[in-house]
Structure 1
């Protein structure tokens, strides 16, 4: 502000015009007001520039997430096995154990939740998918690439993993709240915070919409207690790797599983991702565009 106070009337006018503001007569009575106006203009321009840099940084991060991915060691082993395929269909003991384990979680009474929520099985998990990646799945299924059914299944599973950009837990319309949040930033509503504008997830969603495509929301594992859904969410995030997602947090484990070693948690998450993949293959996809909200 001190430097602005030292400006002559002529330089003050030039600086205001340089910042896209046309002043009236600058006199002794209006000089202070125009000095204050110039100060506010320069401050806002600086904040906008800083905000633009943050958005550009987050945008570049989003682009990187659409390129090469590295998953947990456990999931990498499954999809990059030297054998024709190594899926959970060939490990019935693991499937049986995981299903039995989650049966126990339903009855776990050690949840750190209010009593009215302990037994409510109203939650589910959901996965947000990038349609730029799922188009390859349709192509691969149609062409079949002259390879075995198992190998085709594995290749399609790899593409499915590459399309995932968010994993969550919720009830009712929770998955669509992310899309509504992104839509509000397009409309530049008054209530849209700087934090919301700069979220990687919001930027990713808007980027997909700008390409004329829609977000795929896959709902999986229905009718779960809250902590069961949270545990599944955490294990899937750990398996695929938080760095490959736009999630801000890794997730939280509950019950017996929170005591497991990380390797075992990632095996469980890999199994759940494969189950989600099977659900996707059966149900197909529906894209959600701004006009659908």
Structure 2
């Protein structure tokens, strides 16, 4: 089974979808309707051949001049030479454009925290198993005499909202991608990180549903609701990934805060940073962010194992 190269894959983040609506309405857990991609060099060659095929001598001259050439007379004897020259110039132009797209992606990654940016670029993940264990141990049997926020019932979890126009059924596609690409795509698809509770698992979507049905109106919606509505209007469903379940509220809040810290508010629709509790609250910011990167990677593993499920308005009507 062949894998795609990270250098040849163009990645998009959820913010680039604000002005784009998908024309196709893909279904989750079905094979995406995509045309198999050739290697980049073959694709470039095919593109170049299609651009040069059937050109008249006049069109050939104009193409060469657009690319900075000053061709001499083009006739039956010189035409083949100038066509080869045009092909070379077009291939060089395509390589430059591809390189620019990669630079743009790198600039996007630089807006995440330094710790997550490093993981996205090098796929070197921080070793935080011990830190996560320290977080779990404190809240597994919490001090009964201490007053914890929202109590100590283990009914909370974390959730990540993902844009399906970015994931494009990542669990299905992951078998033909390298892990590094999977992680990049997963991170770029996240537009909200939150904490939920078992009694109302979709409470974060109910507000958007009211606006969708017209029960509520507002001139200015919060960014999260705006993005949910945009996904629905594109004919797709929001992906609500539930993870780290059956924990007390303060543990879920702490995990949420670590992941938000790693992502950075600029890269999310969250309006504020999270709250840290217990031992984690005393850690340095760098350590919190590294734990956040670790948790995000673990969340991706859950997503790949469970598969992509989209939630449309009909799926969550009360």
Q: Provide Cα deviations, 1:180-218, integer angstroms capped at 9, x if missing partner.
A: 2112112222xx2637x5111111011111111100111
Runs (5+) with no aligned partner, structure 1 = 1-59, 145-151
What are the within-5 Å matches in structure 2 for residues 167-246 of structure 1? Answer: 167-172=193-198, 174-189=200-215, 192=216, 194=218, 197-246=220-269
Matched, 1:98 2:136: no
More helix per residue: 1 or 2? 1
Which of 192, 215, 230 is the matching residue for 1:166? 192
Paired residue for 2:18? 63
Residues 171 and 305, structure 2, Cα contact 8 Å, conserved in 1: no
1:87 aligns with 2:125: yes
Give the Cα–Cα distance (whole angstroms) in 1 for the partners of residues 218 and 146 of structure 2. 35
Corresponding residue of 1:130:
163
What is the root-mean-square deviation of aligned Cα atoms in Å?
2.6
Equivalent pairs counted in the alignment come to 214
Q: Which has the larger radius of gyration?
A: 1
Cα gap change, 1:292 to 1:256, in 2 (>3 Å)? same
Change (3 A) 1:209 1:173: farther
Alignment TM-score, normalising by the size of structure 2: 0.61
Q: Could you tell me whether the CA contact under 8 Å between 2:171 and 2:308 is conserved in 1?
A: no
1:61 Cα deviation from its structure 2 partner = 9.7
What is the aligned partner in structure 1 of residue 304 from structure 2? 281
Give the match for residue 34 of structure 2. Answer: none
